[in-house]
Structure 1
């Protein structure tokens, strides 16, 4: 095998794989040339098979992760915070009802564990076989979630929430890195949607599941059933990953023959990145990269809004006039349903248009307007005609009906959630090689989730029923996200144009060598 030529660009992909020896060209059925008609059809079938293997599995896992993350908000409505004074319904987390600060701490502590273990979680995907790393993280967070049933004090509840965050950090942070091993940069946005889209579905189904669990009539309190019902299926799917998920394109047993050759060829087509050990110079490049911190700041402000939604939406809806716990949980479904549809539309569009920044900017401007409406609508409209919104869901997208206070709530939730996939895809797209993606995505999510910690304090119960403080804070976060996303879009575009003018534009099918210089390689172009 030849040593690596000291060139930034490869002169066409078939030359690259021939020199590197990754594909046996004589017996490869022409898959080394992915631009030929036969190879394109073979590649299309391979991608379809890859989608069927990976996407439903990680969607299911993140669905259960997000349910376990947010079910504490639904459990609160069934008496989790009521303490020992509800002895007929079981033992709560203390002798007395939790105060608002104690409840906020119970939600916030999850994010402390999540933040602390996100960088190690990403590194784990690079060091260990991803299928085993995923299974470990998933099974352990499900165990921690089910242990909330035996939390006899607030300390016990806090410990469970911390370890749920810890193991979710080991799993969830590196999934975008894992997807980047298998998919090209302009394929990643839609695939990240299928990973993150279940956050909206989980919000909707979490409310439906909680509604159903609320009708269980046993001596065991409903909130205990809720934790068990939502943890056990995730544990089973986690074990399934050991067999089902492929590890890396260059080392996997899920594809054979020509499809394995296509997997390797695609891996080296966009950027030439060796599977070598982590290098200290790449770590230094990562922690000194201003672009990483800009991406993290965009995620931080978005995460603050996301955390406030997942932690407090049932309570906010209850204060809109749906006083029973079952009704409040049920009425959280429409905002999440609309969010799921909008997430898909934006993810597809951002891939097709090859743009991330402008999509995020537009969404967060609309979200900011919706939050202003939520904060300024008079008290008389806080108990608006929610039934109209449920019977005519299209109005949530095409019309801002201010006679219903929950319509701007739906719009705010949908727009904030829809920024999630393009924001994560944007970060992964612009971290040039494997080490920078592994370290950088861990730092990006750790910094970003500091916003999640802040978001858990946006909606104290003392602000009910208007919650003006929380809505104004979310307005500020949304507007900040829009400004930073647009600024990043402009700055990255300038860098690309400067490289084009100095070094020339790359040709279709060329593979950029990022193994040494990562995204500082002369042929690398950022996605804006």
Structure 2
């Protein structure tokens, strides 16, 4: 027998012949249109089978898209230790500047990109921007000087701006909040896998040096860009736009998926999220207090993600290893990070908690940088520095995913969440700007400034988590005493208010 959470509304023309039987009765909507209210009789095995259908058709393509996205923005770190700087004549902080300028278009174009995703089909938008950044990556393999590199990084930031926030928001259209962290973890673990994959690919591709008269580092960009373009072309036929149009689900299964995304009020009413566009949602998403508090958490993890992605090969290289060895030594770090991301997100979904795990993982990052800072300040041992970078990197990826999985379900309705997702991820990714300037050439090989600044941002993130926890708890307690107000309002009024509704409860 279906639970209350599975009840919902479906029109007669949506019912398939092969849909499981269910009890039906009729009700009048606001316009007086007759609708069938169906209670799908889905047992536990059927529900799990629906989730598996979604997982196998949604998660792999998003993971591959993000892996290639992170690979194409982070391979510059591998190319650097294989001779790129000397080949194109970079001097001083030009490498850092090239890293930094990527993030300005990447951050500030994410809001319009997510609005375009809402207007266009995901199956059109996501593959299209993938083709664009793949072409830019190929072009990077033919740069001759700093100006060429700078232009390529700017266009790469433009093309990639819609990728991660688009995918993160896209997942909220399919999965209930209690299932979201594990799926976000599976998807985002591709970023840490990209770190390992990048080092391995760079090691192999570098042996192509001399082919067609091009250095090995150039082939890193060219071949990885070609791979991105090829996958982008296939992705047009691989991405499903929404549960409502998913052909791999029958009508009753689509109804079950939609019902799981509804909110249940204290009185037992179910509120379906508003999909109506109103410009007020843009302003609410841009200036929501919880988003700006969460940005500090995002920064505390993003600075480590980008700091280690761009500079770990250089840090390890300065410990006395060759460029090839440095690339290989990054592989186990990112393999561990991928495993930890999936593991922590799975546990978080099981216990239905987010913030407590984020606090623990930030503690792991903090400890890692204390190791790295202490080892570097003392001039060794090299193993302590490497172990510190290993621990910090392993913890930052699951912390980042859990932050996104914590905040997004706490924002409603749909258009507000689309904008807020872009703000959180876009402004949060300015952490890459900071990290790009902390590991300066003159600070090598100790990089004390970089490690110290990472620690400061982790402390800021730790503080922001506790502020959000306290504020969410206080608001929830206030709303627990507003049952009469909720009962006096219509479902449409409650849906329009989104997370500002007295029926809405923030998750911890």
Q: Alpha carbon RMSD of aligned pairs, Å?
A: 2.6
Question: Structure 1 residues 382, 421: closer, same or farther in 2, change over 3 A?
Answer: same
2: distance between equivalents of 1:265 and 1:244? Answer: 25
CA contact (8 A) 1:204 1:334 kept: yes
State the secondary structure of the residue aligned to 2:9.
helix
Q: Is 2:113 aligned against 1:121?
A: yes
1:470-509 deviation digits (Å, cap 9, x = unpaired): 1111111112111211221222122122212332999xxx
2: distance between equivalents of 1:512 and 1:417? Answer: 38
Aligned residues: 481
Unaligned runs of 5+ in 2: 24-36, 265-270
Q: TM-score, normalised by structure 2?
A: 0.88
Question: Structure 1 residues 151, 482: closer, same or farther in 2, change over 3 A?
Answer: same
Instruction: Report how far residue 466 of structure 1 moved.
Output: 1.1
State the secondary structure of the residue aligned to 2:293.
helix
CA contact (8 A) 1:31 1:261 kept: no
What is aligned with 1:196?
188
Instruction: Report how far residue 150 of structure 1 moved.
Output: 2.0
Question: Structure 1 residues 330, 514: closer, same or farther in 2, change over 3 A?
Answer: farther
Q: Is 2:57 aligned against 1:53?
A: yes
Matches within 5 A, 1:222-261: 222-261=216-255
State the secondary structure of the residue aligned to 1:17.
strand
CA contact (8 A) 1:299 1:423 kept: yes
What is aligned with 2:26?
none
What is aligned with 2:69?
65
Question: Structure 1 residues 384, 307: closer, same or farther in 2, change over 3 A?
Answer: closer
2: distance between equivalents of 1:74 and 1:266? Answer: 44
Instruction: Report how far residue 25 of structure 1 moved.
Output: 10
State the secondary structure of the residue aligned to 2:245.
coil
CA contact (8 A) 2:303 2:454 kept: yes
Question: Structure 1 residues 129, 377: closer, same or farther in 2, change over 3 A?
Answer: same
2: distance between equivalents of 1:35 and 1:482? Answer: 44
State the secondary structure of the residue aligned to 2:207.
coil
CA contact (8 A) 1:190 1:344 kept: yes
What is aligned with 1:275?
275
Instruction: Report how far residue 513 of structure 1 moved.
Output: 7.3
1: distance between equivalents of 2:104 and 2:227? Answer: 25
Instruction: Report how far residue 43 of structure 1 moved.
Output: 2.4
CA contact (8 A) 1:116 1:166 kept: no
Instruction: Report how far residue 433 of structure 1 moved.
Output: 1.5
What is aligned with 2:466?
486
Question: Structure 1 residues 287, 170: closer, same or farther in 2, change over 3 A?
Answer: closer
CA contact (8 A) 1:362 1:482 kept: no
Instruction: Report how far residue 184 of structure 1 moved.
Output: 0.3
Instruction: Report how far residue 310 of structure 1 moved.
Output: 1.1
What is aligned with 1:7?
none
Q: TM-score, normalised by structure 1?
A: 0.85
2: distance between equivalents of 1:474 and 1:133? Answer: 35
State the secondary structure of the residue aligned to 1:150.
coil
What is aligned with 1:393?
none
1: distance between equivalents of 2:478 and 2:19? Answer: 39
Question: Structure 1 residues 355, 513: closer, same or farther in 2, change over 3 A?
Answer: farther
Matches within 5 A, 1:262-411: 262-268=256-262, 271-276=271-276, 278-322=277-321, 324-377=322-375, 382=380, 384-385=382-383, 404-411=384-391
State the secondary structure of the residue aligned to 1:250.
helix
1: distance between equivalents of 2:17 and 2:56? Answer: 30
Alignment match of 2:124 (pick from 122, 132, 156): 132
Question: Structure 1 residues 269, 180: closer, same or farther in 2, change over 3 A?
Answer: same
1:312-361 deviation digits (Å, cap 9, x = unpaired): 11000111221x21111111112111111111121112212222111111
Instruction: Report how far residue 216 of structure 1 moved.
Output: 2.4
Unaligned runs of 5+ in 1: 1-10, 84-91, 386-403
Instruction: Report how far residue 29 of structure 1 moved.
Output: 2.1
CA contact (8 A) 1:433 1:514 kept: no
Instruction: Report how far residue 24 of structure 1 moved.
Output: 4.5
State the secondary structure of the residue aligned to 2:83.
coil
CA contact (8 A) 1:321 1:382 kept: no
Instruction: Report how far residue 251 of structure 1 moved.
Output: 3.1
2: distance between equivalents of 1:216 and 1:244? Answer: 32
State the secondary structure of the residue aligned to 1:81.
helix
What is aligned with 1:523?
503
Q: Is 2:141 aligned against 1:141?
A: no
2: distance between equivalents of 1:291 and 1:432? Answer: 12
Question: Structure 1 residues 116, 491: closer, same or farther in 2, change over 3 A?
Answer: same
Question: Structure 1 residues 37, 454: closer, same or farther in 2, change over 3 A?
Answer: same
Alignment match of 2:435 (pick from 435, 455, 470): 455
CA contact (8 A) 1:299 1:445 kept: yes
1:132-172 deviation digits (Å, cap 9, x = unpaired): 11111111100011101222221111111111111111222
CA contact (8 A) 1:358 1:486 kept: no
State the secondary structure of the residue aligned to 2:505.
coil
Question: Structure 1 residues 518, 429: closer, same or farther in 2, change over 3 A?
Answer: same
What is aligned with 1:29?
20
Question: Structure 1 residues 380, 22: closer, same or farther in 2, change over 3 A?
Answer: farther
State the secondary structure of the residue aligned to 1:151.
coil
1:255-280 deviation digits (Å, cap 9, x = unpaired): 3444344344445476512433x202
1: distance between equivalents of 2:418 and 2:22? Answer: 29
What is aligned with 2:9?
17
2: distance between equivalents of 1:330 and 1:362? Answer: 29
